[in-house]
Amino acid sequence: MTSVLHNVRTALDRIDKTDPQINAVLSTLKKESLKRANDLDAGGANGTLHGQTVAVKDNICTDVGATTCGSRILENFRAPYNAHVIDRLLDAGAVIVAKTNLDEFAMGSSTENSGFFTTRNPWDLERVAGGSSGGSVAAVATGMVPYALGSETGGSIRQPAAFCGVCGLKPTYGRVSRYGLVAFGSSLDQIGPVATDVPGLARLLGAIAGRDVRDSTSVDESVPDYLGRLDEPVGKVRIGIAAEYFGEGLDNETGKAVEAAIDVYKKLGAEVHEIHLPHSAYTIACYYIICTAEASSNLARFDGVRYGHRTANPQDYMDVYSSSREEGFGAEVKRRIMLGTYALSSGYYDAYYLKALKVRTLIKNDFVEAFKKCDVILSPTTPTPAFKLGEKSDPLAMYLADIYTCAANLAGTPAISIPCGFTESKLPIGLQLIAPHFAEDRLLQIAAAFQQATEYHQLRPPICATH
């Protein structure tokens, strides 16, 4: 049996050799991870993730190393406690070896908005890894670690997973505690697993899921044996196909790969049903009003007084506040704070924020009705494969990269992205499956059935062969 120390040294060595080309990692926890490896080899905790190396998105608090959220405003911040999910990983015997890059405060779809550097796609270094969990996903895709944690507000695990050819899961809102996750949009945020295959997702989700009394939105719902249930017969599967997810803007190669995936399910005996999500057209507008409003409120705490960056030689208190935020926040974060503040301001609250909340309810109800006809909804994860670095300089064009993913965050439903093919230029294509609330076990079963019949998830980017 391989020692934990060997696993950790292998991970750290791979990060040293591979990451200079990818920029997935913001910081390594070398000293801490080597010490933990020695402790585990000496007879420490022996759980479901014993000795497994894990990378963690850097907006999840750890009591060792920095927690920067990919922002200059928190460049030197050290969290005084672990997030709930970190304690759960440690209890399961995992070793956290790195904190990964992200779009600043998880605001972005390409990791180009990081305050430090851009993460590159391991399949094509001139393309984005996706975002905002691009660092976590790229670390798994290149084999730096077998597992990683990301966070989602509108597709930030599933979208980069699709771009980088790995698997990513957004659990039901409330399934995993948000305690210790630095908030972006509190009614949308959720921590989730990244792995190369569905069993990996099941193993990691099983370790972090469950009630946490420190998070009032954490739901007291029993946690199934996700990994064990993958061995159970999947039975008759009803798949819902919504025309709204196969319309204008969908890349031709992506559409064909997803249609081929539907055929795979048909050969496995699945029933395919036409469904409708009539309010899909309002998803992006609804999402960006709600998430920016919540960001405006959540990021008000970064004031240059209590923690984080503080401007030098301020003239007065207002200068402390305004200059510290001006110097510390990047352009996209400032944009979203201003949009959210406007949406919440007097005279516009009812016209924008309140209306968006009502539309959110309609979107959620669309899913409730759809699931009366199907077990999962199948769609592309993204409308296109990974785009080139700098290609989407228009913020609205970037926002549309989340057009198929953010509805699940608005509705609070679990959703997964798994590889389902490649373009002619060898770029991965992601397949999205969405399930009813707290049906992660069924979702994972259905995703695993596809992987048992295909090999897309087994393919690795060329960079893995050279390191």
Locus of tokens 């009614």: 187
Instruction: Give 389-433 pLDDT, tens digit per residue.
Output: 999 988 888 988 899 999 999 999 999 999 999 999 999 999 999
* CA–CA distances in Å: residue 397 to residues 110, 120, 195, 390, 437: 12, 19, 28, 12, 30
**Integer Cα distance of 128 and 357 in angstroms:** 32
Locus of tokens 């208190």: 317
- Grade residue 327 by pLDDT with cuts at 50, 70 and 90: very high
* CA–CA distances in Å: residue 60 to residues 68, 316, 334, 411: 9, 33, 21, 23
**Integer Cα distance of 448 and 417 in angstroms:** 11
Q: What is the length of the chain? A: 467
Instruction: Give 433-445 pLDDT, tens digit per residue.
Output: 999 999 999 999 9
| % of residues, the chain, pLDDT over 90 | 93
The CATH-assigned architecture of domain 4-278+364-465 is: Alpha-Beta Complex (3.90)
95-99, 316-320, 354-358: the lowest-pLDDT one: 316-320
| % of residues, the chain, pLDDT over 70 | 99
Instruction: Give 38-87 pLDDT, tens digit per residue.
Output: 999 998 667 999 999 999 999 999 999 999 999 999 999 999 999 999 99
CA 282, distance to chain mean position in Å, is: 22
Residues annotated as catalytic are: 57, 132, 156
Instruction: Give 193-244 pLDDT, tens digit per residue.
Output: 999 999 999 999 999 999 999 999 999 999 999 999 998 999 999 999 999 9
Position 464 scores a pLDDT of: 84
Instruction: Give 264-314 pLDDT, tens digit per residue.
Output: 999 999 999 999 999 999 999 999 999 999 999 999 999 999 889 999 989
**Integer Cα distance of 255 and 274 in angstroms:** 16
Report residue 104: phi and psi, to 5°.
-50, 125
10 Å CB burial of residue 122 (0-12, 13-18, 19+) is buried
CB 406 within 8 A of CB 283: yes
Instruction: Give 129-188 pLDDT, tens digit per residue.
Output: 999 999 999 999 999 999 999 999 999 999 999 999 999 999 999 999 999 999 999 999
